Structure 1
């Protein structure tokens, strides 16, 4: 096992790190799980998620298993401790533990530090951004077919706009690039043009498609759709589709069937349908025919747009979980932002953070506890016990963050026969 050094934090002595052996996670009964509270409402929603997870683990496994939480630092909270937004201690902790629960962190627009959220994903090579979107009964959703939405979006996490190759319009670098394009390719840009590059590689495309197909097999999903704008960006997004199909055929040929092969026929029993949709049509399709889509694989920027739009169909970001996963390491976090105007008011909805924690439990193989968490949240919301973000649309009295957390924990215990 690789040894990691820590400057200002120490792993809890009562826990053990998850290890990787023969290509699989080996999870002890007392895994150390680092958590980053984040800022804004982060400490409240992550605190609630941890309490609910602890209750679910205790109900599911008794005294045999427990999560050993380990606080680590990133973002605004890390600055006074380390003098930086992203200390090496935190990176080492997540690498050592293989999992982490993370709260939302603020990223300034147009100035200030570059996104710590993005840096964490890139430095830990968490190349798959996984965002399940599924309707929870009782949430007021604007969409006629909200109850038909059950989609998992696999967004590539390391390339496209996240590669961050761009130059300000009036920088010497931008001027050099404009001059190069004019001299070498006779492409003339206006002198006030900012420039960005959009890299998409065969390597990164194949591994995100592999992760999506592995998920489809593991969880019994029936369709994998590649979303792209390859009709316009032929050598980036166009090849994203080509390389994704190539991987599916080479590594999963006995498990998949391609839409063009069927010519309108039914998908053979036991096969996963692989198809593709142009990005703009994909937005139309998830609104008009959400039942036709199951797993969607997409480059970074498309996935960012699509996952927020899909979450809106079922009631918004407050109930949307997320995961950032590499070959073995996984960091689990809600999609929503830090909502600083609600910080410290005990009104934030911890559902997205808690469902993200449930994804973490699935990741380490503790699916019994994960299912308890999901069912408890569903029953709590269905019974009309909701926080202010949902209650205001229903015209009912909201619960505080603490009250909602307690209600979920009560349902965890009841569902597990302990209440």
Structure 2
């Protein structure tokens, strides 16, 4: 079936039913891409920590059987220069769940990155980013413990789709002419050497993102979903996103007006979920002033990018966050930093982002006890002032550990 990929002799495939239900066996086969640069150091540590936590938590009742698939530099070595072999995509389709280490960004080499390929070819339309403070770290804000949000950022639309035309190109000049002569657009201040980009927001794309965010909030008994947009200025894109988002809440989840007249509320049994909205600039301000007001966020691509990076800086540093890219039948979990080639082989890279990506994966599988075990062990390690080199400025009296030693400290605290 595969040329270079060797499925494990044990374990079962994860199933995704037609109704979207995921069936996770007790011994699932999970694909992983080791990654380039520091990925070759961090991904094995993540797997060791995940395996240790599962064994400690469930003894022999549960186990992951890992399946390596290839992308990036390692794939190029195995597939005669093919950075992204087709059988990698096929394997991910077959096994549904994948952990991905950081990959080399293409610099004119002509190969596809995994993220770009999967987001477009497999329609990974949700970028899921939980943002929560870690203990014992001196962060730029006084009360980082007030930040505990889960952000649903659209992956498929908006300005990040890459629909752009270079200034001075025939395509840009033709589009400018069409906009002005055919559509009557007269707001261009300058039309010579003018680059153009397309911001597109659709009803289908908006509704499926918000539908997933509300369903998650109800399942996890969250207090609110905030719709972040810039609809006061971009009325037919961000404004439409808000309109369609509220239609989902009202028509599919039976939301009704909140007594304050500004919000909406969904009542299921004793659980009340508030639906509200914020302009993106106001949201960035309130994340500094009153982050405890927010729980689940649903937003467009560009707004989500700005919001996530701002929040992760508030709880520590951007490189310590984790993320996932999701569709109905595929889930990809990854650290949010790059390959950091300058630190390869030095045993100084911070593994927290890789570890938290593994924790996200366990929670997605509903293996919450193992995920809790890892998080608590990480917290104990930080509270003992054990950190990697890049985190020493966040503690008053740090004990600096190498990458390997720091990971072993976490493993030693598993119960």
Q: TM-score under structure 1 normalisation?
A: 0.91
State the match for 2:51 in structure 1: 54
For residue 114 of structure 1, report the CA deviation from its aligned partner: 5.8
1:251-400 pair list within 5 angstroms: 251-253=252-254, 256=255, 258=257, 261-263=259-261, 270-394=271-395, 395-400=397-402
Match of 2:166 in 1: 168
Does 2:15 align with 1:19? yes
64-73 or 177-186, larger mean C-alpha shift: 177-186
Tell me which residue corresponds to 1:410: 412
Give 1:220 shift: 1.5
For 2:146, the equivalent position in structure 1 comes to: 148
8 Å contact 2:206–2:244 — kept in the other structure? yes
**1:356-411 C-alpha deviation (Å, 9 max, x unpaired):** 11111111221111111111111111211111111244353311111111111111
Runs of 4+ in 1 over 3 A off after TM superposition: 108-116, 186-189, 256-259, 263-269
Checking the alignment, whether the CA contact within 8 Å between 2:223 and 2:295 is kept in structure 1 is yes
Question: CA 1:388 to 1:21, structure 2 compared with 1: closer, same or farther past 3 Å?
Answer: same
Secondary structure in 2 aligned to 1:84? Answer: coil
Q: Do the aligned residues in 1 keep the contact of 2:213 with 2:296 (CA within 8 Å)?
A: yes
Aligned length: 406
Report the equivalent of 1:117: 115
- How far the C-alpha of 1:75 sits from its partner, in A, is 2.5
**How many Å separate the matches in 2 of 1:341 and 1:227?**
37
Q: Distance in 2 between matches of 1:284 and 1:108?
A: 35
CA contact (8 A) 1:349 1:387 kept: yes
Q: Deviations over 1:89-118 (max 9, x none)?
A: 111111111111111224358996564323
Q: Distance in 2 between matches of 1:266 and 1:96?
A: 40
Distance across 2 between alignment mates of 1:92 and 1:405: 32
Per the alignment, do residues 53 and 274 of structure 1 end up closer, same or farther by CA in structure 2, a change over 3 Å counting? same
Query: Please, which runs of 5 or more residues in structure 2 have no aligned partner?
Result: none
Tell me how far apart the structure 1 counterparts of residues 170 and 18 of structure 2 sit (CA, whole Å): 50
Correspondent of 2:132 among 123, 134, 137: 134
Distance 1:264 1:236, change over 3 A: closer
What's 1:212 paired with?
213
Cα separation, partners in 2 of 1:296 and 1:110, compared to 1, 3 Å: farther
The answer (yes or no) to whether the contact 2:262–2:276 under 8 Å persists in 1 is no
